[in-house]
Structure 1
Amino acid sequence: MIARLTFAAAIALTASAAYAQETDADDPYIWLEEIKGDRALEQVDKWNAETEALLTKAPEYPLARAWARQILDDDRQIAMPDTIQGEYVTNLWRDADNPRGVWRIATLLSYTDGAPEWRTLIDIDALGKQEEQSWVWHGANCLAPEYRRCLVSLSPGGTDADVVREFDRETGTFIEDGFTLPEAKSNVAWFDEDTLIVGTDEGPGSMTDSGYTRLVKLWQRGTAFSSARLVAEGKQEDVAISGFSVMDGGTRWRFVNRSPSFWTNQISLLGEDGRTIPLPLPDDAEFEAVLDGQVIAKLNSPIETARGNAQAGTLVAWSLTDIAAGRTSQPEVIFKPSASQAIEQVSASETILWIKLLDDVSGSLIALAPAEPGWVSRGFDLPENSTVTLASTSGKGDLAYVTVEGMLTPPTLYAVSTKGEPRAVASVPAQFDASKFVVEQRFAPSKDGTKVPYYLVRPKGATGPLPTLIHAYGGFRNAQTPKYLTAEPYRSGPLAMFWLEQGNSYVLANIRGGGEYGPRWHEEALREKRQNSFDDLHAVADDLVAGNLASAGKIGISGRSNGGVLVGAAANQRPDLYGAVISGSPLIDMRRYSKLLAGASWMDEYGNPDVPADWAFMREWSPYQNLRAVADYPASFYYLSTLDDRVHPGHARKMAAKHQQLGQTVYYHEYREGGHSVGSDHAEDAKRAALLLAFLNREIGDSE
């Protein structure tokens, strides 16, 4: 499988270059889309075996695998607060003894004091063994304000589909006659103690073309689901429709959200009688929170308010009381970011709105409180030039837990309130000697002149070009912020740290398509503008070469999911620049993506390949259609899961087969479980980190 293409062979094969597979009939590898087909899985097993046979022989492999497992299972990791439930906090804990995790609870007081007294609620590994199921935790929704009854979601093997079962937090047991839903991509929320807001797979007509729920129903306790009352429905071509509820002090507000497309939402209040009242939010606004009887949203396009124009990226609020009463509600501007800023996270506690803000990609935290007139703001003294993440906020009281970290600085968890200074609760011990490295933020000029920020980490005192790994994403408004180097931007554990420890360089690129600078940064890479994100990645690599920091051919690029489109297109466009490609759970065949699993939901992001005008620009960069015979094409490593029910495994399989047919260097590894995240436990993540390190060393390392 792993072979180099000679220049002569490249010339001979060029006749079958781009755009060869534009219909299903033209695609010789469409059989690899049979997810569990015998022939397809036989090919997967063959590729897996070949990749492992080659890379596990690398001398660094066993050490890297053991070290990665040690880091991932380290019991000194922060027990992150998944939810604050009144006077308690919950956490999912995974370590060597609990690879799938234990869901547990402690008092808020003991947790904030740094000495939590944990009580196990569900041991996922033990439950899976008892029920002979490969359960993967998908979370729990507990009914406020008592939080005793919880809707627990468990996925068989890590797929997006899961089973929902009602659980009693006090007794630590599943409720025998409680609410239960079979495996499906369901949406479930509490209406009240005896009623659920439910959308689930009920057979033909109940799911959208994107594979998500099309119907919203109210289901009464003790009744068959077949008798549940329909309260809202979407169209077949919608992305989804779902219900949800939000606590605002002692008030439970209930909503229905219909998503005609990935980037539009039509949200309505759901009344006690089951009737719906549309909210006045623009369709492209993002619902963020409810506080003090107001619904808060982030704008993605300008609107007029009573005090003038509110620009995209601004936080605005409407009175829910007015809306529920049928009165016209005028929006109020509550926070406007500057040109270099973007609002990345918003969360409400009892009386405070917490905002995680980016400023040239560096994070900060502010608290907003409603006042007369307007809103008052407070900032907090947290380490500068860091990534700040809102972990959880309290429904009762005004407490927020936030983590602060940098590429060379391990995470610290802070308890933050408006009554004092942030208080460190827990921190991760250093996993490597950061004094050996230096990190800097740089800006690369893209093709159209846009300045693209990126973070570069190198060994201190290094001179001249080094083998370099660039990670990027560039889509869906997802900002890529600098995390501690043992984190897993590719679901590969501490790969970046291993790479640096060997004397190489690592880069995190903040290319367009993400949310680093708010809506405009995303919009500049949408649909026909997608090439901007590829140009941005090329610009970062070219900037490194121009600065004598890296060499063409000694640069690896990495991307997951949407990042698969990115690195695939980049390798096709600049095979001279890159020497290695890491592509995880990737989108690749953009001609057929909208027909595979959840692909139809992303057409607002990429375009509709069945519309000729859209395909005209998509065909210019679709990785699968543009792969051609090129001498010294960069070596590619694809990793994914058979059970990924979001991005179809056929994308990576077909691309690997085409590489092989063209005689190009390709490595492939597909886990049977793990879903879109790939790998269902730390053992699998550690193995992947070691395989990828061996791959990079072999293809672009100085010792290759």
Structure 2
Amino acid sequence: MKTLVAAMLLNAAALPAHAAAIAYPATERGPVVDQQFGQAIADPYRWLENDVRTDARVADWVAAQNRVTDAYLASLPGRDAIKARLTRLWNYERFDIPEKAGARYFYTRNNGLQNQSPIYVREGLNGAERLLIDPNGWAKDGATALAEWAPSKDGTRLAYAIQDGGSDWRTVRVLDVATGQPVGDELKWVKFSNLAWAKDGSGLYYSRFAAPKEGQAFQALNENQQVYFHRLGTPQSEDRLVYATPDRPKLGHSAQVTKDGAWLVITTTEGTDDRYEITLIDLRTPNAAPQPLVRGLDNNWTLSGSAGDTLYFLTNKDAPMQRIVALDARSGAGAAPREIVPEDPKATIDSAALIGGKLVVTYLVDARTEVRTFALDGTRGAKVALPGIGSATGFDGDAGDPETFFAFTSFNLPRAIYRYDAASGKVTPFAVPKVAFDPADYVVEQRFFASKDGTRVPLFVVHKKGANLKAGLPTLLYAYGGFNISSRPAFSPANLAWMEMGGVYALANIRGGGEYGKAWHDGGRLANKQNVFDDFIAAGEYLVREGISAKGKIAILGRSNGGLLVGAVTNQRPDLFGAALPAVGVMDMLRFDRFTAGRYWVDDYGHPDRQPDFDVLRAYSPYHNIGRGQAYPAILVTTADTDDRVVPGHSFKYVAALQAAKIGDKPHLIRIETRAGHGSGKPTDKQIAEYADMWAFAAQWTGLKVPD
């Protein structure tokens, strides 16, 4: 194998990168053929599903692929200059939204190029800043990250989760805030969990799974999630089981404590849809039994706040664009909700919080944020003044305290933190970063285009001021299109670097997301999934038709479900794009539900073992629909060895199939990061290196001029 790879590298180095014929590592084809609903489904690369940590054959394949890819990327012009500019653009101070607990304020702050963001604490809003946790010393490669964290109600303790190598698994520990020292508590096998403190600080509620079998931690299905209470100072083995559904192992459970500490609110789901059951436990009554409040897994029920026994929920029950209702905690399941804020048919409610006696409600209006306030009787108040057109998130707080914080960002505005006083309506800056560019040098436009079936779809087009949008410019087109997740205006130093070089950045708000409520989501999932691909293709066609870009000058990018999107549209319209960058994508749609969290995704994708769903999935599955005989764009797949969300076998099999197919001479490569996962917790230096590789690759195949 090593001799063969060495020969490949010599051949690749003999010609310029764009002209060299790449000799890919040989990938063994297995004899696996599954019979599904009368069809013979060949899966010759099934063996690449095995864990790279435990299967030497897979590890050798990964090493061989990386050597070929690394050699190719190293030969691309401008890569080092792109990396240098990315490093400069990334080097700005970044704050997260503060969380108030007692008289203390907790937040993360990154000085710019730190691989991980430390937590700081202030004694009072204007108090001196004190470093509390710095994760940058946890691992030499910077790949051990601080994940979720939560201060106790009085601010004396901080629970924090540790994420290693990008895995979704967490280890939770507790810190004494006054001394900055751990108190010795440790919780393992925590995943997809809130950290919810009891009001008196005696302990916290969390969700966990049973310890997986040896060697199965990164691939086994996640089932039988349970809610526990951990009392400080005791071993995890003594934690009290609070809620479980062993008769329904596919259910997941997450716990919250109301701000007044009166109720434990357990939200139960079976998949990724916003369809929940709500169970309550009265924390004022010792050993109180769980009592159902909402049953049926039919609608969204997201807790927005509480006032005594009145709980306020954001829901899409009888309101596809969502509304806010009140429920009596003691009413039991089946009680009729009382409407507080009605549905707005022209704007989707995105979030809501009870702060200082008011409801602060965030709306999406054509994928842009608008924030409105309401009294608890539903009377509409003033809007919150935002710094511009973009995205605002946050607004967490206490029903009796008017102080809250939010983050604001746009394509040309890095994330800044603001303080909002619900009593006065005043907005003041808390942390606004200084950056190495002038935001006024960039133009943000919102356009609309018609998809294949005539649906009107929003498209953000962002570019450097003075760019000729009739010149067919190299364009980076991004979308997600799934799981009711809305794609919003947001700053990215990587995207800015692309625009600095003269490229256009475009974001399509395609169906499958939540930009226009339930109907927009439903229009892009299950049997309607093809609408997602049609919308994205129509976005590319619009860019060409308007002269903004041209055929062969569009690079397409998507992550996770967006990686699936890129893989599918590359199969369907390879002529339209110059480069494709599918990242950590779901590529085998007939086996996605067999690994880790994949079983949750049936809400959006369907069940591969049911024929109607199988027929839809088989028709667009990227791995199964690579078109022989068609000339494909250049493709750089990116994934990571510790991705236990979308296991890397998806990308491994997909690339093996690409390299074996007769789809033209452009490169079809895979970049496999080590000690990284689905994206969360990835060190800054690894992010910069990855984007430098992707942008150099995309520039090569779209004609974007790169710096010397």
TM-score (norm 2): 0.86
Partner of 1:42: 60
Q: C-alpha offsets along residues 536-588 of structure 1, whole Å, 9 cap, x if unaligned?
A: 11111111222222212221111000101111111111112112111111111
Partner of 2:490: 483
Partner of 2:505: 506
Partner of 1:671: 673
Q: Per the alignment, in what secondary structure is the counterpart of residue 125 of structure 1?
A: helix
Partner of 2:661: 662
Deviation, 1:5, is 13
Aligned: 1:292 with 2:295: no
Whole-angstrom CA distance in 1 between matches of 2:417 and 2:108: 16
- Work out which of the residue numbers 102, 119, 122 in structure 2 matches 1:86: 102
Partner of 2:172: 164
Over 3 Å counting, the alpha-carbon distance change for 1:442 and 1:375 in structure 2 is same
Deviation, 1:522, is 0.6
Structure 1 stretches lacking a partner, 5+ long: 7-18, 111-115, 303-310, 488-493
Q: Per the alignment, in what secondary structure is the counterpart of residue 532 of structure 2?
A: helix
8 Å CA contact 1:81, 1:89 repeated in 2: no
- Work out which of the residue numbers 143, 155, 161 in structure 2 matches 1:147: 155
Over 3 Å counting, the alpha-carbon distance change for 1:388 and 1:607 in structure 2 is same
Whole-angstrom CA distance in 2 between matches of 1:366 and 1:393: 16
Over 3 Å counting, the alpha-carbon distance change for 1:61 and 1:237 in structure 2 is farther
Partner of 2:446: 441
8 Å CA contact 1:84, 1:392 repeated in 2: no
Deviation, 1:446, is 0.8
Over 3 Å counting, the alpha-carbon distance change for 1:195 and 1:521 in structure 2 is same
Over 3 Å counting, the alpha-carbon distance change for 1:395 and 1:78 in structure 2 is farther
Whole-angstrom CA distance in 2 between matches of 1:84 and 1:281: 33
Partner of 1:422: 427
Partner of 2:700: 698
8 Å CA contact 1:468, 1:550 repeated in 2: yes
8 Å CA contact 1:81, 1:392 repeated in 2: no
Q: Per the alignment, in what secondary structure is the counterpart of residue 326 of structure 2?
A: strand
Partner of 1:12: none
Aligned: 1:29 with 2:45: yes
- Work out which of the residue numbers 434, 446, 455 in structure 2 matches 1:450: 455
Deviates more, 1:560-569 or 1:383-392: 383-392
Whole-angstrom CA distance in 1 between matches of 2:705 and 2:629: 24
Whole-angstrom CA distance in 2 between matches of 1:72 and 1:84: 28
2:173 is aligned with what amino acid? Answer: R
Whole-angstrom CA distance in 2 between matches of 1:413 and 1:337: 29
Deviates more, 1:180-189 or 1:532-541: 180-189
Q: Per the alignment, in what secondary structure is the counterpart of residue 340 of structure 1?
A: coil
Whole-angstrom CA distance in 2 between matches of 1:297 and 1:234: 24
Over 3 Å counting, the alpha-carbon distance change for 1:235 and 1:654 in structure 2 is same
Partner of 1:16: none
Over 3 Å counting, the alpha-carbon distance change for 1:411 and 1:199 in structure 2 is closer
Instruction: Give the number of the structure with larger relative contact order, counting CA–CA contacts within 8 Å between residues 6 or more apart.
Output: 1
Deviates more, 1:630-639 or 1:439-448: 630-639
Q: Per the alignment, in what secondary structure is the counterpart of residue 65 of structure 1?
A: helix
Amino-acid identity (%): 28
Whole-angstrom CA distance in 1 between matches of 2:489 and 2:167: 28
Deviation, 1:516, is 0.8
Whole-angstrom CA distance in 2 between matches of 1:5 and 1:630: 20
Whole-angstrom CA distance in 2 between matches of 1:362 and 1:475: 18
Over 3 Å counting, the alpha-carbon distance change for 1:427 and 1:21 in structure 2 is farther
2:304 is aligned with what amino acid? Answer: A
Partner of 2:615: 616
8 Å CA contact 2:479, 2:509 repeated in 1: yes
Aligned residues: 659
Whole-angstrom CA distance in 2 between matches of 1:185 and 1:508: 31
Partner of 1:571: 570
Partner of 2:527: 528
Q: C-alpha offsets along residues 35-83 of structure 1, whole Å, 9 cap, x if unaligned?
A: 2222212222222222222223333211221222233232xx2422242
Deviates more, 1:425-434 or 1:358-367: 425-434
8 Å CA contact 1:21, 1:27 repeated in 2: no
Structure 2 stretches lacking a partner, 5+ long: 1-7, 21-32
Partner of 1:468: 475
Whole-angstrom CA distance in 1 between matches of 2:197 and 2:67: 47
Over 3 Å counting, the alpha-carbon distance change for 1:190 and 1:430 in structure 2 is closer
Over 3 Å counting, the alpha-carbon distance change for 1:660 and 1:394 in structure 2 is same
8 Å CA contact 1:636, 1:667 repeated in 2: yes
Question: Aligned ranges for residues 582-621 of structure 1 at < 5 Å?
Answer: 582-621=581-620
Partner of 2:407: 403
2:293 is aligned with what amino acid? Answer: L
1:660 is aligned with what amino acid? Answer: Q
Deviation, 1:27, is 1.4
Partner of 1:551: 550
8 Å CA contact 2:502, 2:704 repeated in 1: no
Whole-angstrom CA distance in 2 between matches of 1:675 and 1:163: 16
Q: Per the alignment, in what secondary structure is the counterpart of residue 659 of structure 2?
A: helix
Deviation, 1:430, is 4.4
Over 3 Å counting, the alpha-carbon distance change for 1:261 and 1:542 in structure 2 is same
Partner of 1:379: 383
Deviation, 1:409, is 3.5
Whole-angstrom CA distance in 2 between matches of 1:67 and 1:472: 25
Deviation, 1:431, is 3.5
8 Å CA contact 1:141, 1:151 repeated in 2: yes
Over 3 Å counting, the alpha-carbon distance change for 1:117 and 1:296 in structure 2 is same
2:49 is aligned with what amino acid? Answer: E
Deviates more, 1:585-594 or 1:330-339: 330-339
Whole-angstrom CA distance in 2 between matches of 1:51 and 1:380: 49
Q: Per the alignment, in what secondary structure is the counterpart of residue 671 of structure 2?
A: strand
TM-score (norm 1): 0.86
Deviation, 1:391, is 6.0
8 Å CA contact 2:390, 2:409 repeated in 1: yes
Q: Per the alignment, in what secondary structure is the counterpart of residue 461 of structure 2?
A: strand
Q: Per the alignment, in what secondary structure is the counterpart of residue 479 of structure 1?
A: coil
Whole-angstrom CA distance in 2 between matches of 1:59 and 1:409: 29
Q: Per the alignment, in what secondary structure is the counterpart of residue 280 of structure 1?
A: strand
1:526 is aligned with what amino acid? Answer: R
Cα RMSD for the two superposed structures: 3.1
Whole-angstrom CA distance in 2 between matches of 1:78 and 1:227: 39
Partner of 1:261: 271
Q: C-alpha offsets along residues 107-161 of structure 1, whole Å, 9 cap, x if unaligned?
A: 3421xxxxx62111112123446xx9952111222221x1212222101222110
Deviation, 1:280, is 3.2
Question: Aligned ranges for residues 167-182 of structure 1 at < 5 Å?
Answer: 167-176=175-184, 179-182=185-188
1:190 is aligned with what amino acid? Answer: W
8 Å CA contact 2:272, 2:603 repeated in 1: yes
Over 3 Å counting, the alpha-carbon distance change for 1:454 and 1:222 in structure 2 is same
Whole-angstrom CA distance in 2 between matches of 1:467 and 1:134: 33
Q: Per the alignment, in what secondary structure is the counterpart of residue 413 of structure 2?
A: coil
Partner of 1:491: none
Partner of 1:314: 322
Over 3 Å counting, the alpha-carbon distance change for 1:607 and 1:424 in structure 2 is same
